[in-house]
Each structure stands twice: as structure tokens, then as C-alpha cells.
Structure 1
Amino acid sequence: MLAIFLKTFGTVFIAELGDKTQLTCMGFAATDVTARIWIFLGSALALALSSAIAVYFGCQITQYVSPKKIKMIAGIVFIIFGLIYLKDAFFPISPLSPEL
């Protein structure tokens, strides 16, 4: 139990460092220093709730799809996103092309 807790804590902690959520909280705290505790509580509750939703749906989906297939699908999706970002980095949209 402790091992899975530490693995989850470490993964989420590292993933959230420098994330847009953290930068948003920093911005809120910089503009309203009197509300620091409320900013902390709001962001902590939001992260806890979004994590609870992810755990719930993760448990539900494993009733229909094996964890091995979920990991494979997640890996493929991350590779696709990575390729899209690389394409955008090397071949940015021309300012003359119509934007969506």
C-alpha cells in the first residue's frame, strides 16, 4: 500500500511542477496575497476531485478493457500527441493560411 501511495504521489507531484495549474495558482496568489489559504484550498480540492474522478473511471473502464490494453492505448495516444507537437514545432502554420 505504501509503495503505490509513494509511486502515485511522486508521479503526480513531478507531473504538476510547472504545469499551467501551478502557474495559475501562482498568479492568483500574486494578485491577492490575503486569500492565499483559499487559493491553496481551492486548488487542492480541485486536484483531489479531478483525481477522484480519474480513479473512478479508471476502475470502471477496467471492467471492460484490460489494464494492458489501456496502457498500450495510452502509449499510442501519447506518441500521436508527441508527433503532432513535433510537426507543429518544425512546420508551424503559416500566418497566411486560414485559421480554424
Structure 2
Amino acid sequence: ETTGFNIFNASSYLTIDENGPVALSETFVQDVNEILNRNGVEETLVVDLSPKFVVGYVESKEKHPNADKLSVCKVNVGEETLQIVCGAPN
């Protein structure tokens, strides 16, 4: 399993205006995959760009029907409302 790619002289292939970690975008990943393909690398860089920390608003909280210390919550996270089982008392 490939855990990373090292592109030597990356500045000759890509325009990168920052030092340190590079913020990824779909366009950047597509450009890197084109560079890899041109240089004979058959693998494809796949990046999950979905948010990893999501803030939501608890719209409702009801006691779980089959557990004394759990609640069933409806949580609005912007794009959708999720049903989340929670053990927090608040």
C-alpha cells in the first residue's frame, strides 16, 4: 500500500505559493495525478476532502426507548439533519 508520493522538483510541475503543509483542492489533486501519470506512476492519489470536524445544532432530544442512559437526538449539521444516539446528559 502506498502511503505517500515524493515529487522531486515539484516547483517545475506545480505552482505552489506557500511553505509547509499544502491545502488540497480537487484541482490540485487532479494536477498531481496528471504529473504522476506522465511520469509512469500507475497509482492515483485519492484524497478525502470532506470536513472532519462538524458543528451541529441539537433540534430535539428524546429518551432512547431501549436504554436508560441514552438519548436520541435530531442534529442539524447544515446540509442535513442527523439522528444521533448520545449518552451526554445535557
Normalising by structure 2, we get a TM-score of 0.24
Q: As a proportion of its length, which structure holds more helix?
A: 1
Q: As a proportion of its length, which structure holds more strand?
A: 2
Normalising by structure 1, we get a TM-score of 0.22
